[in-house]
Every structure is written in C-alpha cells, then in structure tokens.
A and B are shown apart, each in its own frame.
Chain A
Amino acid sequence: MISERLQKVILRKLKLDKFDFKNETLASQVPGWDSLTHISVIVEIEKTFNVRFKMQEILRLKNLGELQKLIDARASSRLE
C-alpha cells in the first residue's frame, strides 16, 4: 500500500489534486509523471524522507509499490 506521505509528495510535485495510487501503478500512468519530471519527483521524495537513493535502485523499480518498499527499507535501516 502506498503511504499517505508518499502520495502527498507525488501529488504536490506533479500539481495534481488527487490520484488513486496502487502498488501496481506505473509512473507512466500518473498524469504529468514522465521522463522529464521523473527526477524531480525522486529528488522531492529523497528530501521528504531524508534518504539518498543509488541509481541502480531507482532504475530497477517497476512500480510504485516497489518505490514504497525501497523507502520503507531505507527508513527501517536508519532506525537500526
């Protein structure tokens, strides 16, 4: 499930009012999320969650569910 915080970051960055995010949602299915805006969304997520992704981690992602998992994994490793 996509967290409310992640949903808010994406909506804010893409200037969207609402969108029905699911684990299987692809970036290309979200209005305004294309190759030109992709990196700005990622940077915004990094800032909000205070994480720094590796290129391969981002390039490997298939959908929003995997992005959420990556953020969760980073957050839990920080707690440890």
Chain B
Amino acid sequence: MLFNSLRFLIFFPIVTTAFFLLPCRWRWLLLLSASCFFYMAFIPVYILILAFIIVADYVAGIAIERAQGPRRTHYLWLGLAANIGVLFIFKYFNFFNENMDALARLIHWNYPLGALNIILPLGLSFQTFKAMSYTFEVYYGRIAAERHLGIYALYVMFYPQLIAGPIERPYDLLPQLHAEQQVDWGRIGRGLQLMLWGFFQKIVIADRLSAMVDQVYNHPGTYTGLPVLLATYAFAFQIYCDFSGYSDIAIGAGQVMGFNLMANFDRPYFSQSISEFWRRWHISLSSWFRDYLFQPITFLKRNWGNWGVTCALTITFLATGLWHGANWTYVIWGGIHGMCIVLGLWLTDVRRAAVAALKLNHFPSLLRLLNVFITFHIVCFSWIFFRADSLQDAFTLIRCLPGGWAAPLGTPPWHWIFYLGLTRWDVLISVAALLILLGAHLDQGPGSLRQRLSAQPVWLRWPLYYAGIATVISFSTITRKTFVYFQF
C-alpha cells in the first residue's frame, strides 16, 4: 500500500482509531494484522518470506541468549545467514549470475546456472536489516531476547516502517511496543503535521521534479550541458524529498499512535564534508552499517592504524552501495562516497594547511559555504551513478555534461528549464516549493515557525492545518508515483 494512495487515507484513520479504542493487551495484534494487510497489498504470498525471517531471528535471539562461549557466535551466524540468504536469492542472485556468466564467457567456461524469474519483495533490504539489527543487539548483550513472538513480528513488520524504514533499533522500538500508549492530542497534532510535511515533499516536490529528471536520464546522450546539470540538481532534490517525505510520513504516523521513531534525515545538503553527509543522510542505514560492519572491522584491524579504517570504510561503502540495488551503478555510487571519506581521513593535515595558507580560517562563514558547496556537488556527481540505469548511461551523461549549453530556438540558456518536461506552472511551483523547503531547513530550533504554530490556540491551528492540506492537494502532481526507495 502506498502512503500517497486513497487506500492509505482510509486505512490509517481506521487503524489509529481502532488502536486507541482497543484494550492495551490486544493492540499489538491489531497493529500486526494491519501490518500484514499493508504488506499483502503488494504480493500476498511474499508474507511467507517475512514469516521465515521473523521466525529465524526470533529463534536465533533466544538461542544466542541461552548459549555460552563460541556457540553464541554460531547462532549469530545462523541468524544472519537466514537473512542474507533470503536477500541473496531474491535480490542479488541474478546480478551475481550475470557477472559470473560474463566472467565465464571471458575464460571460455560453460557456466551452467540460469537466471531466476522472481520479483523482488518490496522493502526486503529494510526488513532483513531490521531483523539482523535485533540479532546483533542480542549477541552484543545490549538487549534481552524478545520472548513474545507476536511483539517481535510486529517489531519487524510495524507498518509505518515496513517498506522503506527508518530501520529502527530493537532497543528503541521493542520497549515501545510493550508500553501502553495514551491518547495525546498534542502529539497527534505534531504527528499529523509531520505527515503533511512528508506529503508536501513527496507529491508537490519529488513527483514534480521527477518529470524533468526522467526526461534527461531516460534519454542519455540526447541532452548536453545545462539540461544534464539541471536534471542532476533536480534529482538531488527529488531523491531527498521522496525519501525524506516517506520517512516523515512514517515517523508522523508512528507519532500519532504514540511511537517515537528515529529520525532519518537531518538537512543533509548543509553538510560540510561527505562524512558529515552520512551522519545526516539516511541516518538509520548509515548508523546500521557503522554499528554492525564498520566498527567491528575497525576493531579487528585496530593495529593497522589509518589503514584499518581505510579498509573498513571501503568495505562499508561498497556494501552500502550494493544494499541499494544489484547494479554496478550503486556500487560505484557507494565507492565515490567511501573514497571521499578515505581521502578526507588521509589528507586532514593537508586540508588544514591549505585552509591556513589561503587564510580561509579568518572567514569561517565563507569556509563553511565553500565546504557545503563542494560537498553538495560531490554528492550530485555521485547521484548521476545512482540514477542512471547502467554504467554506460552514467558515463554518457558525464561525457555530455560539459557540452553545449545553448537552449533551443536561440533563447537564453536558462530557458532550458522549460524544455525538460515541466510546464511553466510546474517550474513556478517547484521553485516556490524548494524555497519553502530551504526556509524550513533554515528555520529550526526554538522560536521556529513550527514551534510557534504549536503554541497557537486550537481555533487558529486547525484551520491552518486544513489550509495546509488543501495547499498540498491543490499543488500536487496528477500522477501518483511510487517511492524511489520501495525498490530497495
């Protein structure tokens, strides 16, 4: 079920109302049933895959807790193997097969395995990573194994996070699933606000910008210069608004029912370095990789100094890329980010010396602005690989980037914006919406508009909320698009 569908607009109030009307001891059952219904709106039989993952990690958790010595590690590996095995079969087998086949042809070997004709279950990477997070935490002894199978199943399947995260941690979510949630109108209001903001990002900005991005990225080699640049900038905001929008709807929906879900984004395009970008972008995934892959590798290779960290960064970012999809484009995308962080690690002193030599440290605001500008453009460059359908397409687009910038019919170059699948009205709304987004990102903390709005009386607040809803509906795009991160 899509968040931006009529079905969800009916599903959500019914489930929320029933949640608060039911006695506490039955609420988990309602949410679990609702989550199954939510998931089965796609391919019903795939619920069996989730059932397998849930049972495997539930059993592994209890086994790890009961075991002593090396058996704990064996059970950890068994639990992880169940998740990674499912992920490999459904997501990576054909990719692995294609590459093996290409390699076999190169060495004239008759490779016997054919491709599997299966559809990737939606959000499988999110669900398996959430389940693995639980197994790791039990292994590290930071949480006790969950004995209530229903609550554990709900932890993996909690419908707001089921398809595209945030990849919640068990020590945050499991206690909340056991707790008794009360009706709190203030919190419900804040949750609905966040959901509205998420819808604004998704259906007003992301879906609109996607037309421009598709026009250029689906026809690599057709456009040169400015259109490629504009489409790449547009994609940077499309992917952000699409995913951040989804996360806000998910977090808001959880908040309405009384659950505090982890933040997934923190204004990532204001980052001053790539490592900072990863502390602000898809936080639930980057912290997953940090906690369960990067840190263990750095620990095991701690005698290698910076080389150990380099090794851990390389593996972590290639894995992060591969997590997004079985395509070399994602691996390169992850590799670019990893390489930049590695360079940052080794060149810290050189960078400090360059800043001092250029006397940029006397102008901290300018330095900050410069860092943000450079980081944003590195991220945009990497988005070319992320969005392109193949490596060949990505390289074609990069080759076309410095090409001629002249717009059709002898108009000034900036007129290109009107030739890329957007009407003048769309361009106007996109620019206005992006300015609102920028304003919201700058207006944070105490005294922000959101906080001041929350302090207003009900008779003023609710009409404003309705006006917000009407605005989002009025300025939304006609076609409904799925969320980009659903495919992962």
Interface on A for B, CB 8 Å cutoff? 34-36, 38-40, 42-43, 55-56, 58-60
Contacts and interface: CB of A to CB of B under 8 A. Distances in A.
Interface in B296-347: 296, 298-300, 302-303, 305, 308-309, 341, 345
Contacts of B308: 39
B309 A36 contact: yes
Contacts of A36: 275, 309, 341, 345
B298 A38 contact: yes
B295 A59 contact: yes
Contacts of B295: 35, 38-39, 59
Residue from A39, A40, A42, A58 having most chain B Cβ neighbours under 10 A: A39
Interface in B341-400: 341, 345
A60 B141 contact: yes
Contacts of B296: 55, 59
Given A36-B275, A43-B302, A56 B141 contact: yes
Contact of A55 (B142, B294, B300, B309): B300
Contacts of B309: 36, 39-40
A6 to B, nearest CB: 18
B136 to A, nearest CB: 9
B190 interface: no
A42 B300 CA distance: 12
B27 interface: no
A35 B288 CA distance: 12
Nearest to B290: A35
B275 A34 contact: yes
Contacts of B8: none
Given A42-B302, A55-B300, A58-B299, A35 B140 contact: no
Contacts of A43: 302-303
A39 B141 contact: no
Given A35-B294, A36-B345, A56 B302 contact: no
Given A36-B341, A39-B298, A39-B309, 17 more contacts: A34-B275, A34-B279, A35-B290, A36-B309, A38-B295, A38-B298, A39-B299, A40-B309, A42-B299, A43-B302, A43-B303, A55-B299, A56-B140, A59-B142, A59-B291, A59-B296, A60-B142
